[in-house]
């Protein structure tokens, strides 16, 4: 894998195809589990782990799995890793396991994982797929942690469980607040992204198409002269067309 | 020579402006606001001032963010944000902390009104949504800690703690007389909702100025009371306490009648206000809290649906009965034509 390929995969996963903020995938865990920043990190890392593993395995088996039954096969592979994560979390971090509740087994049908399996891992090489899993998962984790942090600060007056102040707006811990913050996050992210993208595009456009400004050309022509010059050029063009 | 102006209809324009109507609403709200300040003191006045100032400031700042010129903003200022701020403050309790009216007013103007495109474009009433936001966001402050008014009831007793509505819904009955409920004396509540007399005076002013039609608030209030009676197993003694407690008058006269968020046909408005009355009574009985704001918010969201099914009749078009008559006649004509064909 070349460095350039790695860069595009990383850029896609983290920003351009950010599963939460650009593709609006995996909405259910985003809304339900972003009440606190720590929950967001936990859920994000669990999804990242499962995403990497399932991407690698599906990429390895991409030529073996018949096309007609690929979705059930993907789901079984994902379910295997979800079960492993559940068992590990139940044993070692029971508090996180409890706070995730039903959303942990629901990762099986999480559309981010299924989406990456369908659109990337089943068409690309193993190393590429692993990278894609890692960066898509990290993009998901970042978005979830960000939304969780905002909701925790405003709704509970705390960050990562550490109390900041007494001021609380309980609205933000409710599901209505989740929709509100999620929507605003999507709007702000897309506004910044499109602005950055525009700047990037205009730069490449300049380099490719725009001719370098002619240094020798006189800067301050008389308006009359320039008009005359323009008129003459248009006359030339017209004359050429006539010919 | 006279100028000929070629334009789309409407060609005849009324003299009424948004600013004029909103000024009428503000005047109509003043008695209730003054009574709120008399009952609940300086804290009520501060709440109202913060709410109005925050609303106006939010609209101004938002317009500045849209790169409008300050002078243009002031010239096109149509007082709607003042009405929103005033209404919002009137359905908040006087004992809330200073940041509750501030945050709620910013929310109602910035999110509910301006993000949807400003005056006339919002899909729900900003003041109602601001109150619902405050209710969800600062629940502990909104449902408890009620302050007794400065003027005690006519028999000298003062009730603190729960509002009359909560105690009625909780099955404990009301503790002040019905006349006290009407005047708002001796009962706790939100700033603008306790004095029904002042609200009624404001409502009559609005009707006299032809800002609202008297039928609709009356329908809302009567239907609510009647459904409450039905839900209480036809105990007609429940009628007056049910309509006189809580924010029903405030909601019915000033909030449900908002032009932007009520249906645009007369028939649609009847449906809207009857549904509001039923919804309020049923939800009150089911949830045991004051739900006028939630009911109006819910019905606001159904207004596009009502508008889609019940269209306003264009001037000169046949009305409902005429249309049915025309249909019957056309069917008769078709039948006659068929029979002629057979013969």
Interface residues from chain A to B (CB-CB < 8 Å):
167, 169-172, 174, 176, 180
Distance CA B244, CA B221 (A): 9
Say which of A170, A174, A176 has its CB closest to residue B138. Answer: A170
Q: Calculate mean pLDDT across residues B287-311.
A: 89
Q: Calculate mean pLDDT across residues A90-117.
A: 86
pLDDT in the model for residue A141? 92
Number of Cβ atoms within 10 Å of the Cβ of A99: 17
Phi then psi for A15, rounded to 5 degrees? Answer: -120, -60
Contact A90, A97 (CB under 8 A): yes
Distance CA A127, CA A5 (A): 11
CB contact under 8 A, A171 and B99: no
Q: Calculate mean pLDDT across residues B177-191.
A: 80
Tell me the helices (H) and strands (E) count for chain B, helix number first: 16, 0
pLDDT in the model for residue A111? 84
Distance CA B25, CA B212 (A): 10
> Left, alpha or beta for B6 (phi > 0: left; psi -120 to 50: alpha)?
beta
Q: Using an 8 Å CB-CB cutoff, list chain A residues near B132.
A: none
CA angle B293, B163, B30 (to 5 degrees): 60
CA angle B248, B170, B193 (to 5 degrees): 25
Instruction: Name which residue leads in pLDDT, A161 or B259.
Output: B259
Tell me how close the Cα of B130 comes to any Cα of chain A, in angstroms: 12
Above 90 in pLDDT, residue B244? Answer: no
Q: Using an 8 Å CB-CB cutoff, list chain A residues near B115.
A: none
Distance CA A103, CA A138 (A): 18
pLDDT in the model for residue B202? 92
Mean pLDDT of chain A: 81
The string of DSSP codes covering B103-144 is HHHHIIIIIIIGGGTSTTT-SS-HHHHHHHHHHHHTHHHHHS
State the ipTM, two decimals. 0.73
Distance CA A145, CA A173 (A): 14
pLDDT in the model for residue B150? 74
Tell me how close the Cα of B136 comes to any Cα of chain A, in angstroms: 5
pLDDT in the model for residue B54? 94
B52-63 confidence digits (pLDDT tens): 999 999 999 998
Mean pLDDT of chain B: 85
Tell me how close the Cα of A171 comes to any Cα of chain B, in angstroms: 4
Question: Can you name the residues that pair with A162 across neighbouring β-strands?
Answer: A159
CB contact under 8 A, A169 and B139: no
- Where is mean pLDDT largest: A224-238, B154-168, B267-281? B267-281
Distance CA B129, CA B126 (A): 5
pLDDT in the model for residue B247? 84
For residue A221, tell me if it sits in a domain.
no
Query: For residue B88, which of B70, B77, B103, B68 has the smallest C-alpha distance?
Result: B103
Give residue B118's pLDDT band: very low, low, confident or very high (50, 70, 90).
confident
Tell me how close the Cα of A137 comes to any Cα of chain B, in angstroms: 32
For residue A178, tell me if it sits in a domain.
yes
pLDDT in the model for residue A52? 92
pLDDT in the model for residue A216? 55
A58-81 confidence digits (pLDDT tens): 999 988 888 889 889 999 999 999
With b for 16 or more beta-carbon neighbours within 10 A and e for fewer, the A1-18 pattern comes to eeeeeeeebbebbbbebb
Predicted TM-score (pTM) of this structure = 0.78
Contact B84, B127 (CB under 8 A): yes
Residues 6+ apart with CB under 8 A from B73: B60, B63, B64
- Where is mean pLDDT largest: A53-62, A118-127, B179-188? A53-62
Instruction: Name which residue leads in pLDDT, B85 or B233.
Output: B85
CB contact under 8 A, B136 and A172: no
Count of pairs with CB atoms under 8 A, one residue in A, one in B: 16
pLDDT in the model for residue B102? 92
- Residue B31's alpha-carbon distances to B16, B25, B184, B316, in angstroms, are 23, 11, 13, 41
For A154, nearest residue in chain B (alpha carbons): B137
Contact A13, A134 (CB under 8 A): yes
Q: Using an 8 Å CB-CB cutoff, list chain B residues near A170.
A: 136-140
For residue A174, tell me if it sits in a domain.
yes
A172's tokens:
């933000």
For residue A141, tell me if it sits in a domain.
yes
Q: Report the percentage of chain A scoring pLDDT > 70.
A: 83
| Domain that includes residue A118, residue range | 7-202
DSSP, res B93: B
Q: Using an 8 Å CB-CB cutoff, list chain B residues near A172.
A: 137
CB contact under 8 A, B137 and A167: no
For residue A240, tell me if it sits in a domain.
no
CB contact under 8 A, B133 and A167: no
Give residue B270's pLDDT band: very low, low, confident or very high (50, 70, 90).
very high
A187-223 confidence digits (pLDDT tens): 999 999 888 888 888 877 665 555 555 555 555 545 5
- Mutation pick from B136, B141, B142 vs chain A, by most beta carbons of A within 10 Å, is B136
pLDDT in the model for residue B207? 92
Distance CA B53, CA A8 (A): 50
B130-150 confidence digits (pLDDT tens): 999 998 888 877 777 777 777
Give residue B4's pLDDT band: very low, low, confident or very high (50, 70, 90).
confident
For B104, nearest residue in chain A (alpha carbons): A169
- Mutation pick from A155, A167, A170, A177 vs chain B, by most beta carbons of B within 10 Å, is A170
Distance CA B87, CA B253 (A): 11
Tell me how close the Cα of A182 comes to any Cα of chain B, in angstroms: 14
Phi then psi for A158, rounded to 5 degrees? Answer: -145, 165
Say which of B103, B136, B138 has its CB closest to residue A174. Answer: B136
3-state helix, strand, coil in chain B (%, to 5): 65, 0, 35
Above 60 in pLDDT, residue B219? Answer: yes
Query: For residue B250, which of B220, B286, B229, B213 has the smallest C-alpha distance?
Result: B220
pLDDT in the model for residue B235? 80
For residue A241, tell me if it sits in a domain.
no
CB contact under 8 A, A171 and B136: yes
Q: Using an 8 Å CB-CB cutoff, list chain A residues near B139.
A: 170
Give residue B274's pLDDT band: very low, low, confident or very high (50, 70, 90).
very high
Tell me how close the Cα of A39 comes to any Cα of chain B, in angstroms: 22
Contact B293, B247 (CB under 8 A): yes
CB contact under 8 A, A170 and B139: yes
Above 80 in pLDDT, residue B33? Answer: yes
Say which of A169, A174, A180 has its CB closest to residue B103. Answer: A169
Q: Calculate mean pLDDT across residues B107-132.
A: 89
pLDDT in the model for residue A231? 53
A116's tokens:
């990456």
B37-48 confidence digits (pLDDT tens): 888 888 899 999
pLDDT in the model for residue B157? 64
Query: For residue A129, which of A203, A197, A51 has the smallest C-alpha distance?
Result: A51
Burial label for B295, CB within 10 Å (0-12, 13-18, 19+), is buried
For residue A211, tell me if it sits in a domain.
no
For residue A70, tell me if it sits in a domain.
yes
Please confirm whether the linkage preceding B10 is cis (ω < 30° from 0).
Answer: yes
Above 60 in pLDDT, residue B328? Answer: yes
Query: For residue A116, which of A142, A63, A78 has the smallest C-alpha distance?
Result: A78
Distance CA B235, CA A105 (A): 52
Interface residues from chain B to A (CB-CB < 8 Å):
99, 103, 111, 133, 136-140
Contact A5, A183 (CB under 8 A): no
Question: Can you name the residues that pair with A158 across neighbouring β-strands?
Answer: A163
pLDDT in the model for residue A121? 86
pLDDT in the model for residue B11? 76
Could you tell me which CATH number the domain at B20-144+160-309 has? 1.10.3430
Can you say whether the dihedral through the CA atoms of B178, B180, B184, B188 is positive or negative?
negative
Q: Report the percentage of chain B scoring pLDDT > 70.
A: 95
Q: Between the CA atoms of B324, B330, B335 and B336, what dihedral angle is there, to the nearest 10 degrees?
A: 130
Above 90 in pLDDT, residue A167? Answer: no
How many distinct structural domains can be found in chain A? 1
Instruction: Name which residue leads in pLDDT, A50 or A6.
Output: A50
């Amino acid at each position: 894998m070349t460095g350039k390929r790695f860069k595009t995969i990383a850029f896609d996963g983290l920003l351009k195809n950010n599963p939460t903020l650009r593709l609006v995938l995996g909405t259910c865990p985003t809304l339900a589990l972003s009440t606190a920043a720590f929950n967001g990190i936990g859920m994000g890392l669990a999804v990242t782990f499962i995403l990497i593993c399932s991407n690698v395995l599906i990429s390895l088996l991409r030529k073996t799995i018949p096309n007609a039954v690929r979705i059930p096969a993907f789901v079984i592979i994902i379910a295997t890793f979800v079960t492993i994560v559940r068992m590990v979390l139940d044993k070692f971090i029971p508090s996180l396991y409890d706070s995730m509740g039903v959303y942990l087994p629901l990762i099986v049908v999480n559309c981010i994982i299924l989406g990456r399996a369908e659109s990337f891992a089943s068409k690309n090489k193993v190393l590429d797929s692993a990278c894609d899993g890692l960066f898509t998962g990290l993009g998901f984790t970042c978005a979830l942690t960000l939304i969780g942090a905002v909701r925790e600060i405003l709704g509970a007056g705390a960050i990562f469980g550490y109390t900041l102040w007494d001021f609380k707006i309980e609205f933000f811990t409710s599901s209505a607040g989740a929709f509100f913050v999620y929507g605003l996050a999507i709007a702000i992210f897309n506004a910044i992204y499109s602005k950055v993208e525009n700047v990037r595009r205009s730069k490449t456009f300049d380099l490719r198409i725009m001719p370098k400004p002619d240094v020798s050309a006189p800067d301050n022509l008389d308006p009359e002269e320039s008009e005359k010059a323009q008129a003459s050029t248009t006359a030339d063009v017209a004359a050429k067309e006539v010919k | 020579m006279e100028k000929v102006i070629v334009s789309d209809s409407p060609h005849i324009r009324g003299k009424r402006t948004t600013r004029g109507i909103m000024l009428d609403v503000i005047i109509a709200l003043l008695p209730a606001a003054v009574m709120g300040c008399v009952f609940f003191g300086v804290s009520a006045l501060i709440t109202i001032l913060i709410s109005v100032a925050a609303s106006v400031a939010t609209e101004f700042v938002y317009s500045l963010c849209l790169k409008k010129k300050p002078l243009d903003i002031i010239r096109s200022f149509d007082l709607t944000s003042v009405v929103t701020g005033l209404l919002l403050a009137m359905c908040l309790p006087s004992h809330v902390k200073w940041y509750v009216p501030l945050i709620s007013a910013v929310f109602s103007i910035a999110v509910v009104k301006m993000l949807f495109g400003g005056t006339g474009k919002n899909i729900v009433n900003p003041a109602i949504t601001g109150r619902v936001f405050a209710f969800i966001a600062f629940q502990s402050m909104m449902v408890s800690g009620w302050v007794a008014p400065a003027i005690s009831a006519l028999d000298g007793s003062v009730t603190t703690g729960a509002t009359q509505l909560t105690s009625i819904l909780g099955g404990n009955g009301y503790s002040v007389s019905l006349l006290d409920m009407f005047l708002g004396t001796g009962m706790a509540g939100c700033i603008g909702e306790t004095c029904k007399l002042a609200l009624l005076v404001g409502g009559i002013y609005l009707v006299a100025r032809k800002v609202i039609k008297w039928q609709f608030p009356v329908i809302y209030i009567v239907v609510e009371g009647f459904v409450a009676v039905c839900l209480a197993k036809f105990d007609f003694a429940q009628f007056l306490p049910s309509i006189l407690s809580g924010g029903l008058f405030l909601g019915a006269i000033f909030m449900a009648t908002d032009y932007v968020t009520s249906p645009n046909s007369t028939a649609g408005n009847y449906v809207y206000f009857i549904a509001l009355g039923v919804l309020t009574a049923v939800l009150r009985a089911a949830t045991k809290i004051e739900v006028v704001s939630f009911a109006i918010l819910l019905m606001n969201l159904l207004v596009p649906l009502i508008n889609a099914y019940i269209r306003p009749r264009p001037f000169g078009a046949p009305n409902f009965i005429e249309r049915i008559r025309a249909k019957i006649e056309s069917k008769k004509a078709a039948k006659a034509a068929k029979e002629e064909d057979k013969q």
